[in-house]
Structures are given as C-alpha cells and as structure tokens.
Amino acid sequence: MTWKRATLVALFQLFWFASASAQPAIFWFNDPVDPDETVLVTGADLNEVTSATIARIDEQGSKAERETSVEILQATPLSLKFVIPKDFVPGIYRFTLNHAGGSLTGRVNLPTIYWTQADLGDAASPGGTIQLFGRNIIRQSSNARLELQSDSGGAPASAVLTKGNLWRGAFRLPDRLSPGRYKLRLFNGSGGSGEWVDAGSITVRMPDPEPTQSFDVRAYGAIGDGKFDSTRAIRAAIDAARQGGGGTVYFPQGRYLISDMLVIPPHVSIRGERTDLVNLLWPDLANPPAALLQGTSHFAIEDVTIYASNHLHVISGGFVFRDTQAPGAGDIAVRRVRIRASAFRVLLDVETAVKRMREFHQLFQEGAPDTIRLTGSRIEVSDCDVLGSGNSVRLFKASDAVVSGNILNSGRDGSYYILGSRRVVFENNVVTGADLQATGGGITTLSRMVTASENIFAGGNTFKGIYGLDREGLTSDGPSGYYFGHVVNNAPDNLVLADPYTPPPFQDWIGAMVMVVNGRGAGQYGRIVATAGSAPGLSITLDRQLQVALDQTSEVTIVQAHENYLIIDNFFEDTGVAAQSFGTALGHVIADNRSNRTSGFAAIGQFYGHFQPCWRVQILDNHILEGNVYRAGPDRNVISNEALIFVRANQVPAAAGRPPLVQAVIVRGNRLDQDAHIQVEGFAGASSGVRDVIIEANTTGPSRVGLVVDRGVTAWLGRRNVEGRRIAR
C-alpha cells in the first residue's frame, strides 16, 4: 500500500469513527404492528432522542400525512419504545426520532424480504411460481403486486398473486415471460407508490427437459412375484438408462425382491406404476449396504413402496461418503414414496434387538440411520409416507429444498433434521414418533462441516406423539461457537480478533455470524465472507458495514448462524416444547401456532458450549389450548407443570458487566386458555440476562403462576395483557 493510500485509509477510518459516534443510530425495529401496539427500536445512543412523531402513509399517496407526537417509553442508549396511536388505521407508518444533531426515520410494516424461492429453486420458469418470505410480505392481497424488470430493459412484467399473508407471498409468472435475469420489486398492498421495495433478483429459464426414454424392468428379466431376486435385472435396466443418456426405469405392478444397493445415475428416475401397486422388497440382510437406493444428482424416485427389515440408510442422495457432499449434488426428488423399513420388525429376541441398537449407536452420530437423507441444491420430498428404524428425514447442507405433504414417522432414537441448510420450505407434513423412544427434531447446525442455517419456513405442519429424549416438536440447536472477546475495528466491514483464543476444529468460518453483544455498538451483527491470517490476530471481513464503530469496550461473539426462521401456523400435540429458538437466534418468528399438551413456545439464549445470543425473536398470536403437561417442560426432571411462553437467558457468569443473552423479544397477541403462563427469566440481577422484551395484548386463562418476570430482566414493557383467575397452588 502506498503512503498516499494509507493516509486516505487512515483519514477515512478517523472520519468513520468520529461520525459513527456522533449521533443516534437505528439497527432494528419490530413489525408487523397495528394501532395500539408497541414498536421497539434498537440502536445506539437512542437516549439522546428528544421527541418522536409518527404518520400513517396513505394508500392513494395523495393525502397529506398527519404527523402525531408519541410518547417515548423506556429510552436507553440501546433502545426506545413508542406505541402506534390507537386511533390510527392499520397500514404502513413512518416514524421520526428527533435529536440534537438531526433526526432518524423508519417505516414500519414495509416488506422485509428474508429470501425468494421459485419453482426451479434458485430460478423460475415462464408460467412458474416465485415465493417471497419474510415479514409484511402481503398486507392487502387485493392491492399487492410483484413486478419483474428485465436487465435488458423494456416494460416491467407483472406476476399474479396466488396466495399470501404477512409471512409469505406466492406469485405466478406470465406464461410468455422471456428467459433472462430480472430484478424483483414488491408492493404489499399498503401505503402509496413509494412503498415498493427491492426484492432481489431471479433468473427465468426453461425447465430442463425430462428424459423421454422408458426402460421396463421386466424387459431385463425382473419378475415381480416377491420371490425371485431381481437385483441383477433391475441393475441392467438402470445401466441401459444410463448408457442411453437418461430415462425412466419403470416398474409395473408387482413385488420386486432386491438383495443389495441400487445406485441411480444422474438423469435416471425410478418410477412405479402406482405407489400401492409396486413394492420394492429387501430381506433381513446380515450385512446391509450403506443405503438401499443411492445417487448423487439429477435423479428421482417416484410412486413405489419400499419394504426393508435389517437396513442402514434407505434413500441417500448427494453424498459420496458419510456427510461429504458430492460435486454438483442436487436436483433430487422423492415423490409419492411409501417406506416401511424396520430393523426391529417381527419376533426379535431381546439380545438381537439390543445388538442392533448398539450397532446403530456405533455407526451413526445421531444414534440411528436416516430413512431419507439428502444434500445439495434443488431438493424435493413430497407426498411421501415414511417410516424407518431411525430418523425420518435428514437434510444436510441443502438449499432451495421443499419437504411438503409427507407423513414422517421417526423410529427408535429417531428424529428429523434440517441441518446447515438454507432456503427450505417444510410445510403440510405430519411428524410423529412411531417408537416411544423417538424424539422430535428441527433446524440445527450440529456439524463441524457447517457454519450456518438460514431462511427456513416451517408452516402448516402437525407435530404429535413425541415422547423420547428431548421431545421437542421444532427446535433450533447447535452447541458450539468460534470466538468471544474484543476486536479491533479497522473499517466498517473489517474486524481483527484482539483476545487470545483456541481455534475450534472447524473447516472455515465463512458464513458464521458475528454479533456485537456488549459495549459500544452492541446490537449490530454481520456474516463472515472472508478471513485472513491466523490466531491470534485473525482478520475477518463482514458482509455488511457496521453503522457504529466499535471500541475497546465492545465484545463480540462469533457463532454458527441461525437466521430468519419462520415457524407459522403449525399444530403441536403431546410433545415437549412445541417450537423454540434455542441458543443462537436472529430474526425468528413463531406465529399463529396451536399447542395442546406441550410445554409451549420459547426463546432461549444461553451459554451452550459458547456464548449464544437470542435476538429479535417474535412470538405472536399463538394459542395454547390444554396447558397441563407431564414431563414436557423445559426441565425434564419436573413431572408435571404448566405450559409456558418462555423467554430465558441461561446465564453462567453472573458478575456485573456481563452482556445479556437475550435482546429484543416480542410476545404479543398470544392466547393461553388454561394452566399456562408467560415467564421471562434473566437470572442475575447484577448483570441482566434479558433486556427489551415487550409483553403485550396476551390473554391468559386460569393459571397457578400468572405472569413472571424476574430481577434479571431489564427494560421490559407489559401492556394490555388480560390475566384470568389465579388457581390456588
């Protein structure tokens, strides 16, 4: 670097540090919100704000906006709160925060786009579908619009809304839309012409042509009588399809006995005449293969029933060895497949059953094999009925995946996993335990090979009858991290680690989350896009610029990311926790779910092998019906207790000056019928574990406990909550 460039960089840094500390800044505020609901604004130096006004943005964009002064509630350097005036009409609001150096503005209820996902995954086809996920996606469906502006110019094209709500909008593209790259702009139906927002870009292309050739397994010697071993004949049909450049290996009605693994090449599909007419049968193998059906990319399995006794994985796609992803893994579909695979089928003596369980625990990290295990891009599992000896479904480092309309039965010590994945739609499934030792599952980063899980929609599912192990219906999990300590802030998007640390045994840190948890600039975050050097003094580059410069008081945690989970409109019955953010969380929404005989809904930050903060979680409009639960609460040793909406910081160090684990949580509009309550725990009075929680407009029926907020909670606000009678303890 020349001395002139070095001087310019130094001057830029000085200017940035000076300007960043000169006035208040906004990092985040919650929405959706309606009149008489509270807005929580987080940022820096917000205690310097002297007044606030708010105006509703008119739909026609022609009427003058009426600025209304609002009271500032609980102003601290890190946050302030105000209430949307009760007499306002629902819509989009612009607020202004005034301070000595000027003012800050924000618009509440604009669309916040988490991600887009289309019918071809990361691309869309003419006449296909684009879905947008986030907050305030569709507010007024009659007015909502999505426009596509081609990079090559011309008039924008309009997509047609087919379904939508606050959290998701699905749009159908014009049939004659030209292939190319398009910029997306969304209008959620509220506000005027200025409330269109950029929604990213999408490539429009024609779908890949389907192979037209069909290879009937009977023509290669297969006999569907359930007795003749058809393995060789089926392999011959598969090989013919491979040599022909791809095609469908077709199974007419019958029962086909198979004694080894079937490997499916790229561009080859296995397809039966109909699910209930075609059985693929594996006997009780003494030495079962790693998987019964396996491929790496561009394959499908459709319209068959699979039976197996002693087995390991059933369907495996995208892997080359254990969790190593194959080059080009993806474009894998499992449709209308029924699986009945049990290593514990028929009359096993106790010694044999225990032996198989021990072998599973030795072979598999989760203690059980996977019935369907897939990795890669553009993954689909739809309309299947799955029962296996262990985990029902495991997605590992999957992207642009859809798991929809399935019955997912977990077996012994089994669960379901969405692990280290992004842009996943998990909807309209029934998830249950087929074995009393089966547990639930969720969205995890429980692997040294992943740094993040993000952009997950779980909606319209039913989770029930989950009794084993941790019993969770849907949880986030990942007990690990990279670094906790101070940094040197060289530039708005560059940090150098300042404290000694032991590098964890991870492949790299790309994609991990940096969260400023204490001191100057607390409440900001970024994702790592590059690293340089090594410990000590590792330099990291973020995917965004920090608004406020960090100083010697600032502390950061670097963790595996859990960002942007939408858990919407699910039903939970007879599980442990229904749905929770557990450990690291950012931007999660748990809304419109129903719970019956579960421990409820939770946002929990904790020291779980590492400092794992829980930020910006909204628990909205959920309904707890029957709250009496048995060994289902957050403490598994408690036999019977009430269900909860639970915000908690599992603090370990409790000395003064420790950063909070939980910040900016909204608990609003929830209905708790009976034997259920809301509880917020920060534990340490000397160093609050929880700060900035809004508890608003919740209705609680008869309870033995009522609302509980302990001394470790700072800057919490309760409004318009209705509590039923207190039941004698």
pTM of the model: 0.96
Euclidean distance between the first and the last CA atom of the chain, given in angstroms as a whole number: 72
Residues 28-70: tens digit of each pLDDT: 999 999 999 999 999 999 999 999 999 999 887 656 578 999 9
Residue ranges, CATH 2.40.10, the chain: 481-559
In this prediction, residue 249 carries a pLDDT of 98
CATH classification (class only), 112-204:
mainly beta
Distance CA 572, CA 599 (A): 10
pLDDT confidence bin for 8, thresholds 50/70/90: very low
Q: What residues does CATH 2.60.40.10 cover in the chain?
A: 25-100
Q: What mean pLDDT do residues 369-379 have? A: 97
Structure tokens at 68: 């209304």
Strands 481-485 and 555-559: antiparallel
DSSP assignment of 103-170, as one string? EEEEEET--EEEEEEETTBSEE-TT-EEEEEEESS-S-TTT-EEEEEETT-SSPEEEEEEEE-SSEEE
pLDDT recorded at residue 357: 85
> Nearest 5°: CA angle at 626, between 624 and 628?
115
* Residue intervals in the chain for CATH 2.160.20.10: 214-438
Q: Is pLDDT above 90 for 246?
A: yes
Structure tokens at 338: 């029924």
Concatenated DSSP letters for 556-584?
A: EEEE-EEEEEEEES-EEES-SEEEEEESS
What is the model's pLDDT at position 480? 81
User: Do 498 and 567 meet the contact criterion of CB atoms below 8 Å apart?
Assistant: no
Buried b / exposed e along 548-566 (16+ C-beta atoms within 10 A): bbbeeebbbbbbbbbbbbb
Per CATH, which fold does 25-100 belong to? Immunoglobulin-like (2.60.40)
Cα 60 from Cα 64, distance rounded (Å): 10
Fold of 481-559: Thrombin, subunit H (2.40.10)
Rounded distance between C-alpha atoms, residue 585 and residue 513, angstroms? 10
Structure confidence by residue, pLDDT tens digits, 18-28: 444 568 999 99
CB proximity list for 497: less than 8 A, separation 6 or greater: 483, 485, 487, 535, 536, 537, 538, 539, 540
Q: What is the mean pLDDT of residues 210-216?
A: 93
Residue 505's pLDDT is what? 64
Q: What pLDDT does residue 19 have?
A: 47
Least confident of 295-304, 424-433, 602-611: 602-611
User: Residue 88: is its pLDDT beyond 70?
Assistant: yes
CATH no. of 214-438: 2.160.20.10
Does the pLDDT value for residue 659 go beyond 70?
A: yes
Amino acid in the structure at residue 15: F
Higher-confidence residue: 161 or 11? 161
From the list 587, 560, 313, 329, the residue with the least C-alpha distance to 446 is 560
The residue type of 711 is R
Would you state the pLDDT for residue 615?
Answer: 98
Cα four-point dihedral sign 615, 108, 159, 198? negative
CA 153-157-158 angle, 5° bins: 155
Q: Residues of CATH 2.70.50.70 domain(s) within the chain? A: 112-204
Q: How confident is the model at residue 12 (pLDDT cuts 50, 70, 90)?
A: very low
Q: Which residue has the higher pLDDT, 209 or 301?
A: 301
